[in-house]
Amino acid sequence: MKCDFCNKNKATIYLIKIQDNRIERINICDECAEKFSLHSDKDFYKDLPEIIYKLFGAGSKDITDRVKKVWGNLSYRNNRQCPDCGIDLKTIKKTGLAGCSNCYSELGKALLPLIKNIQGSLESKGKIPLRTSKKIRIEKSIKSLKNKLKNEVIIENFEEAARIRDKIKKLEKSINGHGR
């Protein structure tokens, strides 16, 4: 059997990948194997997951075609790097994964528009970790109270609206006033 990569030499290594019941075979010759760092037996088994990743590629199961399409638009013309973890946009595009939590602020300019497109929002409304600063907690509740306020005004429930407004003022004061 000929090598799948150079299509020239006789294949000496055969890999079979079975995923979701699909069987995929790859035949590799010695020469090409070297390029994939499949050289010694020892390295081969040690690096197997890495090798499989290189050969077959990988992808998260939850990623839909729509997401893939949007993500394909990530441009890395100046290929910025995250100063904290060193990952660059090109790698993020390829793997679909950020390198650290600061990537989102450091590379936000490139990432956030795509995230907005995929998620439909850039504003978390979910729960907040227990050990988050008080300030974030208060800011979050102000935001949700403001939404409530809008709704109360719409349905002309002014009494409730006034109560919510006072609450917001009090909370705002607590974080801006003395910043405790």
Q: Which helix (H) or strand (E) holds 59?
A: none
Rounded CA-CA distance 116/114 in Å is 5
Pairing between β-strand 13-19 and β-strand 22-28 as defined by DSSP bridges: antiparallel
Distances (CA, A) of 117 to 28, 104, 147: 41, 15, 22
Q: Which helix (H) or strand (E) holds 176?
A: helix 158-176
Asked if 16 interacts with another protein (CB under 8 A), we say yes
Asked if 136 interacts with another protein (CB under 8 A), we say yes
Q: For the window 67-106, what string marks contact with another protein as x by the rule CB under 8 A?
A: x----------------xxxx-------xxxxxxx--xx-
Handedness of CA 54, 60, 65, 67 (dihedral sign): negative
Among 72, 109, 130, 180, which residue sits at the site for another protein (rule: CB under 8 A)? Answer: 130
Residue with Cβ nearer another protein (6 or 85):
85
What residue type is assigned to position 104 of the chain? Y
Minimum CB separation of residue 118 from another protein in Å reads 6
Residue with Cβ nearer another protein (159 or 179):
179
Encode 17-53: b = buried (16+ Cβ within 10 Å), e = exposed. Answer: eeeeeeeeebbbbeebbeebebeeeeeeeebeeebee
From 26-34, 57-65, 153-161, 167-175, span contacting another protein (CB under 8 A)? 57-65
Asked if 121 interacts with another protein (CB under 8 A), we say yes
Minimum CB separation of residue 8 from another protein in Å reads 26
Residue with Cβ nearer another protein (10 or 108):
108
The two tokens of residue 140 are 């979050």
Residues that bind another protein (CB under 8 A): 16, 18-23, 47-50, 52-53, 56, 58, 60-64, 66-67, 84-87, 95-101, 104-105, 111, 114-115, 118-132, 136, 139-140
